[in-house]
Structure 1
């Protein structure tokens, strides 16, 4: 294991996800899987009347980087709009490709050691991709689409 990539902060996040179970009746759900390593993240979302995430559930079966990224998402997903989650997903994708700045999401800087490990990027993106899609589905469900 590479100590620089799998540092204490990443390993701590990987074992400390504040959302560790799925929602019983989500308005929106999405599962994303990394074809490279087989990591898989499922995110459930319910939106409040204000259109913001009021409840979230997760099932994470991922490598340490995918788990750490999922923990960072989980710690700050409540209160976000579907548009904010889509923007975070897109900013994370650009940052990992070194085509954008560090996303405005608390704690993502801890994943900086993974920037040069392109094969790990898909796993890091899983939770953000699933959350954005689940929130879109929840919004569409609320609109009756």
Structure 2
């Protein structure tokens, strides 16, 4: 990877997001939790949720990931509260398509993932970027299952 590619990939905005992840930590009494790990890089994200009327009312995430994974978790943390499982699943599918198939940016309120477009060319980073959304989807599924 050339230095200019690294600079583009780790832009100032990505580093700002990585340094300011909302809702870090764990919930005291989550209704659902999920831990996802990327075997390629070892990044892990654990998400706890509580639901009220089918929407996330409590959200926490424990993020141990590279800057790209942290940035993705930061985007999610800014919009997770109030979302439904269906909205999270749609965002996950859209983010995956944006990265792997040059698909469009995920729809609002998940448009913040646009900052990760430069990572399209780095397939080894995709799993880390998807971790937070994958964990959130599984945590909501677990909460809904009771």
Give the TM bin, normalised by the shorter chain: over 0.9
CA distance in 2, matches of 1:121, 1:115: 8
CA distance in 2, matches of 1:29, 1:99: 31
Q: Is the 8 A contact 2:91 2:106 kept in 1?
A: yes
Give ranges in structure 1 of 5+ residues lacking alignment. Answer: none
Query: Would you identify which runs of 4 or more consecutive aligned residues in structure 1 move more than 6 Å?
Result: none
More helix by share: 2
Alignment partner of 1:3: what SS?
helix
Per the normalisation by structure 2, the TM-score is 0.93
State the 1:99 CA deviation: 5.3
Which is further off, 36-45 or 99-108?
A: 99-108
CA distance in 2, matches of 1:7, 1:100: 21
State the 1:100 CA deviation: 2.6
Aligned length: 140
Q: Is the 8 A contact 1:41 1:59 kept in 2?
A: yes
Provide the residue aligned with 1:39 in structure 2: 43
CA distance in 1, matches of 2:36, 2:45: 5
Give ranges in structure 2 of 5+ residues lacking alignment. Answer: none
Per the normalisation by structure 1, the TM-score is 0.93
